[in-house]
Structure 1
Amino acid sequence: MPTKQLRDLKYRPTEIIKKCKEEGRPAYIAGPMVRYSKLPFRELCRFYNVDIVYTPMILAREFVRNEIARYTDFTTNEADRSVIVQVGVNNVDDFMKFVEMIHPYVDAIGINCGCPIKEQVREGIGAALMSQPDLVADLVRTAKEKYGDAICIDTKIRIHSDINQTIEFVKKVVDAGTDMITVHGRTKNTRSSVPVNLDAIKVVCDTVGSTIPVIANGDCFTLDDFIKIASYTGVDGVMSARGVLSNPALFTGLDKTPWSAVEMFMHLATSYGLPYKLVQYQVAHLLEDIIPKKILKKINEQQNMADLIDCLDEHFVLKRKGEKGFATSVEPQWNLELTSLTI
């Protein structure tokens, strides 16, 4: 059995969840988001006490075959913990190669059985796996037989229209050795505008019992949502994706993005490096509910990083790391001398 292990076991998600239980609460978890859950955003989430953070989904087939994909899809550092790398995969061979390459650099590996994007489903990835419980069980079993406790596996699922199918699916992957289950309480065809099915998540939680942790996913946009979901279902943690994208501080109880998140994100994005358009999109998500639309429109019109920073400096007091009060303000800090907008 491989012994290479670069990550401290105390950051394993199952250990983090145990620690949260000792504190009398479920775990705060930031879910995987295509493009967005890169290293700077993961660190931003941890600045607001998120316990476990996912990477975006990485396609195993591309990762194991393409060196460029490995460099562009995954970056990490010593502060990037607890982190779960999410993988899109449809066969055991690719999965085992992926696990071999990446497991020393992450705290867990999450099998994506929930992504409803049609292109992924056609490839047999994501939600397509919900109709292949035996394949998913094989993925889990084969990896655990080789690596045992050297790896931690999360199986992230959606529910079926018939909850009995979900129960049977869960039983198979638990028997195969998955270390945790994450349940998005919608089917692959359910629109995000339809409320998440908390009863189905509760059934999964009751089915698993205390054998492994169960995480709830869906409709967590505020701390009140977190409390409601956890209380109703009895899960060990609650995951937010769209919620933390707009407000990384939601688990602190703030109901809108604090200005500190904008300053910290700009610091992390420029320090680590991100494609400009991705920085622009994420800044827009952070600001969309806290500044006037005319200023947001102007931010979205900027064509490069220098112009974006100039635009932010024109309208706001955007403090840099090292300046007094950096990343501490809740309300937007307006540059009243330069902005032409009446606040």
Structure 2
Amino acid sequence: MIMADSFCQNAKARASEFSTTVNDSPLIVQFAANTTGDFLDASKLVYPYADGIDLNCGCPQKWAMKDGYGCALLSNTQTIYDLMKGIRNCLPNDFTVSVKIRILKELKRSIEMCQQLEKCGVSFITVHGRTPQQKSSEDIDIDALHQVCQSIKIPIVANGGVKTLLDADNLYGTLKCNGVMAASALLTNPALFSGANVTPLSCIKLWMLMKDKDPNISFQCYHHHLVFMLEKVLTKQQKNIFNHLSSFEAVDDYLISNILNCYTSPIEFEYNLDEFISCEYADEITLKHVSKCRRCGKSIHYCLCMKYDCNNTEGKYFSSYVNDIALCDYTGFDIFDETG
């Protein structure tokens, strides 16, 4: 989920938040937005490099709700419709426009929302089977998802509770939906849909190679994903050491010494990393966003909101949030509680 306003305003945000390769397709970019101008301009910026964009109306995190993003939009459906119509009126029809939502306690409202979105020309809808108030540990509402799937003709992607390939197959078989999304489970195992139960070693090596080829991957991002990918591989003692490493060199040395030579997984895959594209963005879009901050209204030169620094935690991302690293279950973490 990329913040549309930051993406438009700040070159560092664009470099850190979005990258792609020559054969990275189909690619859909998900934005958080609550104004038509930000959403449309951010979509125009990624249009040359993506196949579609998605509006996140499913994030239940407190900061997102407070600022009017994610699930907060579910109580302001007119804004969602305006955002969708804005894209449909300005970009070609073969560029997909989709929305991710959560079901509401009053299911009728969810169904009416999906039917209205269908009329707006949305390409597909992803529906998370929990309400904004539910935690990821709670079961998804299969019956509610089924009713939503039966209410519209455009494709529905079901989301929630998918931890394994078998979970995905069962959800698809039960709902007869058009697709299944997994989110938090892919953090701990990006190769989940291959049938692997733990992150394959080849996946770890690919992430290391991507870091070497893409200079915009920050240490925080690199370390962040490895912590999740190695969750089922490292012991508690190893996690306590690994989670506190604070440099690229320290992380790679630890991987080489403790992981790469002794870790094997049942499923591996061959990979050939394509060249990264050097994205160039339209000045007429980016320049009109830099005169003042849309968040606070101040001149960009005095605004503190946009002092974007992807490395501002100095690599100590997890230790700044967690008191007891050894006992922490990161997949239940508040900051990643959007889907489960």
| TM-score (normalizing by structure 2) | 0.74
Paired amino acid for 1:89: A
Q: Report the count of equivalent residues.
A: 267
Q: 1:307 to 1:147 in 2, by over 3 A?
A: closer
1:104 matched to 2:48? The reply is yes
- State the shift of 1:204 in Å: 1.2
Structure 2 contact 30–56 (Cα < 8 Å) conserved = yes
Q: Which residue of 2 aligns with 1:283?
A: 226
Change (3 A) 1:174 1:312: same
Can you list the C-alpha shifts for 1:29-78, whole angstroms capped at 9, x where unaligned? xxxxxxxxxxxxxxxxxxxxxxxxxxxx1122222223332222222221
CA distance in 2, matches of 1:316, 1:122: 41
Q: 2:113 aligns with which of 169, 188, 191?
A: 169
Is the 8 Å Cα contact of residues 133 and 173 (structure 1) preserved in structure 2? no
Q: Matched residues in 1 for 2:228 and 2:266: separation?
A: 16
TM-score by length of 1: 0.73
> Identity of counterpart residues, as a percentage?
31
In 1: Cα distance, 2:13 partner to 2:224 partner: 22
Partner of 1:48: none
Residue in 1 that maps onto 2:142: 198
Q: What letter is aligned with 1:296?
A: K
Distance 2:4 2:266 in 1: 42
Residue of structure 2 aligned with 1:153, choices 97, 110, 119: 97
State how far apart, in whole Å, the 2-side matches of 1:245 and 1:108 are.
22
Task: Indicate yes or no: 2:182 matched with 1:247.
Answer: no
Asked if 1:225 is matched to 2:167, the reply is yes
146 and 304 in structure 1: CA distance in 2 versus 1, 3 angstrom threshold? closer
Q: Distance in 2 between matches of 1:331 and 1:234?
A: 30
1:36 alignment counterpart: none
- Give the Cα–Cα distance (whole angstroms) in 1 for the partners of residues 33 and 259 of structure 2: 44
Classify 1:313/1:148 alpha carbon distance in 2 versus 1 (closer, same or farther; 3 Å).
closer
Kindly provide the amino acid, as one letter, of the partner of residue 216 in structure 1: A
Is 1:330 aligned with 2:273? no
Q: Which residue of 2 aligns with 1:187?
A: 131
Do structure 1's residue 302 and structure 2's residue 245 form an aligned pair? yes
Q: Supply the RMSD in Å over aligned alpha carbons.
A: 2.1
Matches of 1:310 and 1:93, distance apart in 2: 45
Aligned-partner Cα distance in 2 for 1:277–1:135 = 33
Tell me the equivalent position of 2:5.
61
Distance 1:331 1:312, change over 3 A: farther
1:71 & 1:317 partners in 2: Cα distance? 29
Structure 1: how far apart are the matches of 2:39 and 2:246?
39
Task: Identify unmatched segments of 5+ residues in structure 1.
Answer: 1-56, 320-327, 333-343
Structure 1 residues 249 and 70, CA gap change in structure 2 (3 angstroms): closer
In structure 1, distance between residues paired with 2:221 and 2:92? 37
Structure 2 residue identity aligned to 1:227 = D
